Chains A and B, each alone.
Chain A
Amino acid sequence: MKTVAFDAAAMAGAVASGEVSARELLDASLARIEATDGRVNAFTEKTLARARAEADAVDARRAASQPLGPLAGVPYAVKNLFDIEGVVTLAGSIVNRSDPAAVSDAFLVRQMQAAGAVLVGGLNMDEYAYGFTTENTHYGPCHNPHDLTRSAGGSSGGSGAAVAAGQVPITLGSDTNGSIRVPASLCGVWGLKPTFGRLSRRGSYPFVHSIDHLGPLADSLAGLALAYDVLQSPDALDPGCQALRVQPVAPLVGRGTAGLRIGVLGGYFHDNATPAAREVVALAASTLGAHAEVSWPDAALARAAAFIITASEGGSLHLRELRTRADDFEPLSVDRFIAGALQPVDWYLRAQRFRRAYRDKVNALFRDWDVLLAAATPVSAPAIGTEWLDINGTQQPCRPSLGLLTQPVSFAGCPVVTAPLWPAGTGGLPVGVQLIAAPWREDLAFRAAQVLSDAGVARVQPAQL
């Protein structure tokens, strides 16, 4: 078996050129999973027969000189809330174990398959996506590959850890309040939360219909762009998909940042960032020549509204099972689900009415700015089991507070690329920087990210496992 040290984009190129076969890439991925996942616990399901069939199909196409997709032969895995044909969609729960197996793939899994990517399995997550740490009591916590005693973040913790551990170069996750950006930050990988409504959610298990997003994580910015471009497609059958056409970013990412107005978010985003998080934002800002401090409107109010809508919709979604099987739910989140179900309707409606006015204020901000920077998490990865965080002298509950800096941004629906940076004083642990753009302008966030990547400031570092 060949030793493979490529990133996602290089893998696709190597398969296309014949330097390596899809089957060899798959075998290398499976060997890495076998060697490391007993300690990382990223995978909850392996789709070996399917993976071999998909890899062999790619190799057969190449042997027959047929055209290959842009991700031909690249192994990937998905958070276990994506439907995989023939597999029960767990969404991190044991309640769903008795559901029938999915009869077809999620829309985005089909997009990846059409691009030639090879599905290796399903990934660990917080139950029903309600958490930021992937401390899943049913399937065990997901461990951070850079320090196994620490959290991988969540709720797409398996998606962040699998990339950081070098098991697969691309994963898919979901992000309602930060669930792609938090694990990307804590695991030191690239992540994209696209514009709300950009990618189809059909065939994924919902959490909060009003705020759920799906997106990719990757071991390189080029891989992230490749994955994002193949995931794009209008989907008239998904009421949440608002995109009417594909807008590829890959041709645009190298355009540089000349002429872009880039600012740094102060106020709430500075106050809720510890020194390590402030350090990576400062490094990204200096690399991008961003000097102006910008005030994001109503960030604390937006977080409160997102919290209330999340609890209310999540609690209502699971009310039937909460009535009869509450003891089968995740102990770390079941009480929040129940509390959400009991919220007065005025709280929910007021939060939704606030959101409309808030959106207008955020969109107005982007008349003056193209890209805005903020840390993705207040801290680097906390130890698994941490109850309280010290954020600049204030004690905050750890699990909800990991989303302090992501929640106001997803509530507005803006696209965000999370770039992996490596501050001093964290024992070698990363903290991500959010590159935030106006709705439908993922291309601008990617352009800024490319500058950070080219400068070597943002990069994925191999985990010593």
Chain B
Amino acid sequence: MNDTRMLAYVETTAALLKLPLDAARTQRVAVNLQRTAAMAALLDEVPLAAHDELAELYRPAAFPPNDDERKQL
């Protein structure tokens, strides 16, 4: 993405998140995001299949260590 479009992206997404940015900060944030975009491009080249899940999975509760509770009801 060229610098002009990155600036526009920063302005638009910051507005969406209700983040007020002045012109100087918008510029600096865009430079940071441009660097991160290069890293994201590296990861974009990694082949991931549909079954490659996230590293962290939500757990509703720890799995019970035994079946004692199931026998009580």
- List the interface of chain A (C-beta within 8 A of B): 210, 236, 300-301, 303-305, 307-308, 311, 319, 322-323, 326, 335-336, 338-344, 347, 349-357, 359
Contact = CB atoms under 8 A, between A and B. Distances in A.
B28 A335 contact: yes
B6 to A, nearest CB: 10
Contacts of A335: 25, 28-29, 31-32
A342 B48 contact: no
A338 B29 contact: yes
A300 B32 CA distance: 18
B20 interface: yes
B73 interface: no
Contact of B40 (A322, A347, A356): A347
A305 B36 CA distance: 10
B14 A355 contact: no
B52 A323 contact: no
A308 B39 contact: yes
A350 B54 CA distance: 8
A304 B28 contact: no
B29 A342 contact: yes
Interface in B1-24: 9-10, 13-14, 17-21
A301 B38 CA distance: 11
B58 to A, nearest CB: 10
Closest 8 CB pairs of A and B: A304-B39, A339-B32, A355-B55, A356-B55, A335-B28, A347-B40, A352-B54, A339-B33
B33 A319 contact: no
B18 A323 contact: yes
Interface of B: 9-10, 13-14, 17-21, 25, 28-33, 36, 39-40, 42-44, 46, 48, 52-56, 62
Contacts of A305: 43
Contacts, number: 92
Nearest to B65: A244
A352 B62 CA distance: 22
A208 to B, nearest CB: 12
Contacts of B52: 353, 356-357
Nearest to B52: A353
Contact of B33 (A236, A304, A322, A342): A342
Main secondary structure of the interface of B (DSSP, over half): helix
Which of A339, A341, A353, A354 has most chain B Cβ within 10 Å?
A339
B10 A350 contact: no
B48 A339 contact: no
Contacts of B30: 339
A347 B56 contact: no
5 contacts: A304-B43, A323-B17, A339-B29, A339-B33, A342-B29
Contacts of A210: 55-56
A354 B33 contact: no
A326 B19 CA distance: 9
Nearest to A350: B43
Contacts of B14: 338, 342
Contacts of B32: 335-336, 338-339
Contact of A359 (B19, B44, B55): B55
B53 A353 contact: yes
Nearest to A300: B42
A354 B53 CA distance: 9
A307 B14 CA distance: 20
A276 B48 CA distance: 38
A353 B19 contact: no
A308 B13 CA distance: 17
Nearest to B14: A342
Contact of A353 (B21, B25, B36, B54): B54
B33 to A, nearest CB: 4
Nearest to A303: B39
Contacts of A322: 19
Given A339-B30, A356-B55, 15 more contacts: A304-B42, A311-B36, A322-B19, A323-B17, A323-B19, A335-B25, A338-B25, A338-B32, A339-B32, A341-B19, A342-B19, A343-B33, A352-B54, A354-B43, A357-B48
